[in-house]
């Protein structure tokens, strides 16, 4: 029975600085606008390494369309200033601001520089530190072995987080971005572990009999939502951290999976096969009646809840998984990617616009980013290994 429960659960889950001196006049961007402003980046004079790093981050941030044309809305250029860089931003050919970005290695300076441009150009979006965010994911490095890795928003600086001869799956970020939770297989089931990034330390958060899966940390970092099979039922629980008393939120013969928290920490969305097929439900973090959310497609799995109330999820349409977004405020459901292949395990970026997900085509599965406003996609990471279950970190400065 344990094998049957675990198989059902995993099926549902896998479908799973420096001071700035600037007087720039911000361009007002309303979220209904679906076109990016164009930006011409003339590089950092005399520093091709930093120029390359900045261009990579500018392309990956998703908020500008880079062009070589002189009629670009923004013109950006830089000059080395000691160990840092001074940037000049122009709009319509007139300089509107200068940034002095502190020193560090080229990628650190590049991320700080692009963050400064985003913050002053799109003030209402409150994505301070977005370019410093990271993406954690699973990589199947050999048969039966998966470990957690993390990369920058442009897919560079890949670092291995865990190193077990086992399977580590379903990573989740803690709100401070300094540690990652995940489930690790053992001989009798699964445990939920936490690994801090600097210094690297690992501790066990839950180790109940059977399944310990789907870890999700509340926005305030105080509570863990987790799927357990303590009594051979696969149900959703909440546990205060560390080592608090379990609170059971579901209790039925259906299989639950993939919990995620609402931005205010009051509700949890999760997947259940209560209706006979996987669907997304919402329940209060204190327990009570669940309600089912409408979805497109045959199945609806692996939800993730954005700061502005959008739930992104994977769903099966015409025999393949794709990605859709349900707007909790308006009730709108829309598919956000039309390209071929199987698109699974979507997770929001902190900007509430982009999602990272796994895409499987003819070769190994890779990680892609989808712009939910425009439907554009870009390859994030492809390796000789199968990659899966990506999750975007909060913003840091």
Domains assigned to the chain? 2-16+134-392 (2.120.10.30), 38-121 (3.30.160.150)
What does the pLDDT read at residue 23?
34
Helix axes 48-61, 106-121, angle to 10 degrees: 40
CA 120, CA 16: separation in Å to the nearest integer? 35
Average pLDDT value for residue range 220-229: 97
pLDDT tens digits for range 236-246: 999 999 989 99
What is the C-alpha end-to-end distance of the chain, expressed in Å? 47
CA 197, CA 21: separation in Å to the nearest integer? 32
Indicate if the pLDDT at residue 7 is higher than 50. no
pTM listed for this prediction: 0.90
CA 112, CA 107: separation in Å to the nearest integer? 9
Indicate if the pLDDT at residue 37 is higher than 90. yes
Query: Where does residue 264 rank: exposed (0-12), middle (13-18), buried (19+ CB within 10 A)?
Result: exposed
Indicate if the pLDDT at residue 150 is higher than 70. yes
Residues written for the chain: 397
Which residues are within 8 A (CB) of 179 and not within 5 positions of it... i.e. 6 or more apart? 173, 194, 195, 196, 197
Whether the ω angle into residue 242 lies within 30 degrees of 0, i.e. cis, is yes
Average pLDDT value for residue range 60-89: 91
């Amino acid at each position: 029975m344990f094998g049957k429960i675990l198989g059902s659960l995993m099926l549902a889950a896998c479908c799973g600085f420096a001071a700035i001196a600037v007087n720039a006049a911000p361009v007002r961007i309303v979220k209904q606008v679906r076109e990016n402003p164009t930006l011409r980046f003339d590089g950092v004079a005399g520093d091709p390494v930093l120029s390359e790093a900045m261009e990579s981050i500018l392309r990956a941030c998703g908020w500008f369309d880079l062009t070589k044309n002189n009629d670009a809305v923004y013109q950006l250029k830089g000059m080395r200033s000691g160990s840092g860089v001074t940037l000049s931003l122009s709009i319509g050919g007139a300089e509107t601001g200068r940034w002095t970005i502190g020193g560090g290695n080229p990628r650190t300076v590049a991320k700080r520089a692009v963050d400064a441009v985003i913050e002053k150009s799109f003030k209402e979006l409150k994505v301070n530190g977005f370019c410093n965010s990271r993406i954690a994911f699973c990589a199947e490095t050999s048969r039966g072995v998966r470990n957690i890795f993390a990369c920058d928003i442009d897919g560079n600086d890949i670092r291995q987080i865990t190193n077990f001869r086992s399977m580590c799956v379903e990573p989740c970020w803690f709100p401070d971005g300094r540690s990652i939770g995940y489930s690790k297989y053992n001989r009798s089931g699964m445990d939920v572990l936490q690994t801090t990034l600097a210094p690297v330390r690992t501790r066990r958060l839950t180790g109940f009999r059977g399944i310990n899966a789907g870890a999700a940390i509340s926005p305030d970092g105080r509570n863990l939502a987790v799927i357990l099979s303590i009594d051979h039922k696969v149900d959703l629980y909440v546990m205060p951290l560390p080592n608090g008393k379990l609170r059971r939120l579901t209790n039925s013969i259906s299989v639950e999976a993939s919990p995620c928290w609402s931005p205010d920490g009051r509700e949890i969305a999760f997947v259940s096969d209560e209706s006979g097929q996987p669907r997304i439900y919402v329940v209060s973090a204190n327990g009570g009646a669940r309600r089912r959310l409408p979805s497109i497609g045959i199945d609806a799995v692996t939800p993730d809840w954005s700061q502005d109330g959008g739930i992104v999820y994977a769903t099966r349409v015409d025999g393949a998984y794709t990605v859709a977004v349900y707007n909790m405020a308006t009730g709108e459901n829309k598919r956000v990617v039309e390209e071929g292949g199987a698109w699974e395990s979507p997770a929001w970026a902190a900007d509430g616009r982009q999602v990272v997900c796994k895409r499987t085509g003819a070769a190994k599965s890779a990680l892609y980013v989808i712009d939910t406003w425009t439907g554009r996609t870009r390859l994030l990471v492809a390796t000789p290994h199968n990659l899966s279950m990506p999750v975007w970190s909060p913003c840091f400065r």
